[in-house]
A and B are shown apart, each in its own frame.
Chain A
Amino acid sequence: MDILQYIVNLGPSVMLPLVIFIIGLLLRQGFGKSLTSGLTIGVGFIGIGLVIGLLTDNLGPAAKDMAERFGIGLSVVDVGWPGTAPMAWASSMGLIAIPIAIGVNLLMLLTKMTKVVNVDIWNIWHMAFTGIIVQLATDSFIWGIVGVAVHAAIAYKLGDMFRPVTENYFQLEGVAIPHGTSAYMGVFAAPIDDLIEKIPGVRRLNLTTKTLQDRAGVLGQPVVVGTILGFAIGLLAGYPFDESIQLAIKMGAVILLMPMVVKLIMQGLMPIANAARTTLQRRFKNSNYSIGLDPALVLGDPQVVAAALLFIPFTLLIALIVPGNVVLPFGDLATIGFFVAMAVGVHRGSLVRTLISGFVIMFITIWVSSQMVGLQTELAQQTNLLNNAHQVGSLDQGGSPITYLLANGASGQVSLGFVAIAVLYIAAFVYTYVKYRRGTLYRVPAPAPAEVKA
């Protein structure tokens, strides 16, 4: 046991390469390939540590100054999913989550509770994150495992529920998108869509997006988003011009570099991902099944791209009005489309409706992420990814009602906010589920609505 503890104490950048190397050998990937995979994942962790350091060391103090000057509370930097996924992988739930999530999937397939054959190993980090947060909240490893399993079961069910949307709107035949913010926040879209149908004026509103994309396309480039935001926050923090422009370039660098280093973690996981995919696909080949894949597949849809563009400034505005919010959206902004992608599909591409349901989605996400700052900071500390920051948060998965409800529910921290989120989330989920069962979740497009030029 002492040896195990010694290895764990070396930190994730040493422990994970070792584990991946051994798993690689067990999966008969050969010595060379296993070694490279292991080392690559280690490099990924070192890299994400450096980039998060650059982010929190520079944006952190600026956000604090800005918060003090204007009396607004946004002093905790959102490290986004590129900062959060490594924390989940490096935690004690990280690699255990993979067999648990696959086990739950197999069990549900065999008992015909789902048709989703999930081959997307990367996004199991969402479930691992829920697991470790539940574990930290309850101080119980077993509860952590339960957290992973429950989140996995919900995710596969979401994949089934949204299959009519992924097939009809996104035209991905035989594909389910069970993962991440797209699916779990997508449940808010169905009740809101039905509500809008009842309002005569709003019902027919629409926007054409082609012009918007052509004109504002460059503003959607991640590096431009990061740079502008860095510059604006520098000025708002009261920095002189020279320091603001330096902060701007650094934040552009952070946003561009983040996926580059996180990619290495994904590369290191590939032997496991490939082995799992081959095994699962051999067993469940029938066309009745759908393959569970990454929501990244729907981020190319023009309406999703347009929504993602609009939601960059929109999310920042929402962050200002959410009561008690301390989280400054940043790391997730470049991929904010993940949050509203499924809603776009449910609304059959209507941008006006996506703005309405997206407002609710982002409002809830930001409020929840603000509540989770304490637990997420604890996790960051445990995985050596806190650096010099005092606190960190994230919208993607830090702002998930599923994680929040499971963690606070299991530890018995029931507040008024908890009840409100529980009622809203469960009601939206049940509403969407009933529509899915009735086969009315995806309506056939109505005749061309009146258009308002954007």
Chain B
Amino acid sequence: MKKIIVACGGAVATSTLAAEKIRELCQREGIAADVQQCRIPEIPSRASEVDLIVTTARVDADYGKPTLHGIAFVSGIGEEALEEKILAVLR
């Protein structure tokens, strides 16, 4: 089981969009994944227990875990490239 957190400013709008897309992607590719949402400031306290961090906001911090910028899921531009990156981390 892969653990993924998806973070944005308020843990509501953009992270829900991105989380939903990642859930669909994992289902399609047959990857068992637990996708959860949180706010950006909550990442550091949860980073140790996850396999992948996706943020819809731009963050420069290094959380010691693979971190991807998930804006493509929100804007719809470059979605496939991002999906490839996510799969590369999860596989």
Name the one of B17, B58, B61 contacting A172, with C-beta atoms under 8 angstroms.
B58
Q: A293 contacts B14, CB within 8 Å?
A: yes
Say which residue of B7, B44, B76 sits within 8 Å of A281 (CB atoms): B76
Q: A305-B40, A305-B41, A334-B39 are in contact. Are A266 and B12 (CB under 8 A)?
A: yes
Q: How far is the CA of A107 from the CA of B70 in the complex (A)?
A: 30
Among B11, B57, B60, B76, the residue within 8 A (CB) of A259 is: B11
For residue A174, which residues in chain B have a CB less than 8 angstroms away from its CB? 75, 77
Given contacts A172-B71, A281-B76, A335-B39, contact A294 B14 (CB under 8 A): yes
A441 interfacial contact with B, CB 8 Å: no
Assess whether A238 is interfacial by the CB under 8 Å rule.
Answer: no
Which of A260, A263, A298, A302 has a CB less than 8 Å from the CB of B9?
Answer: A298
The residue of chain A having its C-beta at the shortest distance from the C-beta of B43 within the complex is A300
Q: Is residue A299 contacting chain B, with contact meaning CB distance below 8 A?
A: yes
Nearest CB in chain B: distance from A101 CB, A: 15
> Which residues on the B side are within 8 Å of A363 (C-beta)?
none
* Interface residue from A123, A175, A298, A300 paired with B13 (Cβ < 8 Å): A123
Question: How distant is the Cα of A122 from the Cα of B11 in the complex, in angstroms?
Answer: 13
- Say whether A171 faces chain B, with CB atoms less than 8 Å apart: yes
B7, B13, B75 pick with most chain A CB within 10 angstroms: B13
The docked-state distance in angstroms from the alpha carbon of A337 to that of B11 is 13
Using Cβ atoms and an 8 Å threshold, which residues of chain A touch B42?
Answer: 221-222
* Contact among B11, B20, B39, B58 for A270, CB-based, below 8 A: B20
Known: A81-B10, A300-B9. A291 touches B58 (CB 8 A): no
CA distance A305 to B56 in the complex (A): 15
Which residue from B17, B44, B75 sits with its C-beta under 8 Å from A217? B44
Q: Which residues of B, 3-56, contact A by the 8 Å Cβ criterion?
A: 7-17, 20, 37, 39-42, 44-45, 55-56
Q: Which residues of B contact A295 (CB under 8 A)?
A: 9
Instruction: List A contacts of B13 (CB < 8 A).
Output: 120, 122-123, 266, 294, 296
Question: A221 to chain B: which residues have CB within 8 Å?
Answer: 41-42, 45
- Docked Cα-Cα span, A82 to B10, in Å, equals 9
When distances are taken between beta carbons in the complex, the residues of chain A under 8 Å from B44 are 217
CB of A273 within 8 Å of the partner chain: yes
With beta carbons under 8 angstroms apart, the residue of A82, A119, A220, A222 that contacts B12 is A82
A297 with B57, Cβ < 8 A, contacts A120-B13, A122-B13, A259-B11 known: yes
Q: Bound complex: CA of A296 vs CA of B14, how far in Å?
A: 7
Is A20 interfacial (CB-CB < 8 Å)? no
Q: A184 near B: Cβ within 8 Å? A: no
On whether the beta carbons of B12 and A300 are closer than 8 Å, the reply is no
Contact, CB under 8 Å: B12 / A263: yes
Q: Is the CB of A122 within 8 A of B12?
A: yes
Is B87 part of the contact surface with A, judged by Cβ < 8 Å? Answer: no
- The residue in chain B whose Cβ has the minimal distance to the Cβ of A122 is B13
Does A330 interact with chain B (Cβ within 8 Å)?
no
Tell me, yes or no, whether B68 is within 8 Å of chain A by CB: no
Chain A min CB distance to B70 (Å) = 10
Q: Note all chain A residues with C-beta closer than 8 A to B90.
A: none
A interface, by DSSP: helix, strand, loop or mixed?
helix
State whether the Cβ of A338 lies closer than 8 Å to any Cβ in chain B: yes
Cα–Cα, bound, A82→B84 (Å)? 34
Cβ of B59 under 8 Å from chain A: yes
- Alpha-carbon gap, A21 to B25, bound state (A): 24
Q: Which residues of A contact B39 (CB under 8 A)?
A: 222, 259, 334-335
Counting CB contacts under 8 A, is A89 at the interface?
A: no
Please give, as numbers and ranges, the residues of chain A lying within 8 Å of B82 by CB-CB distance. Answer: none
Q: Is the CB of A267 within 8 A of B20?
A: yes
- Chain B residues with CB below 8 A from A435, complex form: none
Q: A277 at interface (Cβ–Cβ under 8 A)? A: yes
In contact, B75 and A293 (Cβ under 8 angstroms)? yes
From A119, A122, A260, A300, name the one whose CB has the most chain B CB atoms within 10 angstroms.
A300
Q: Given A296-B10, A299-B9, verify A291-B75 contact (CB < 8 Å).
A: yes
Complex alpha-carbon distance, A218 and B44, angstroms: 9
Kindly state whether residue A375 has any CB partner on chain B within 8 Å.
Answer: no
Which residues of A138-157 have CB atoms within 8 Å of chain B's CB atoms? none
Contacts of B56 in A (CB 8 A): 294, 296-297
* Contact among B17, B59, B76 for A300, CB-based, below 8 A: B59
Do A270 and B16 touch across chains, with their CB atoms under 8 A apart? Answer: yes
Tell me if A294 and B9 are in contact (CB < 8 A): yes
Nearest CB in chain A to that of B40: its residue: A300
Question: A262 near B: Cβ within 8 Å?
Answer: yes
Name 5 interchain pairs, CB-CB below 8 A, sorted by A. Answer: A266-B17, A267-B16, A270-B17, A293-B14, A301-B57
Known: A218-B45, A263-B37. 14 other contacts (CB 8 A): A82-B10, A119-B76, A217-B41, A222-B39, A267-B20, A273-B17, A278-B76, A294-B9, A296-B14, A297-B56, A297-B71, A301-B58, A302-B61, A337-B9
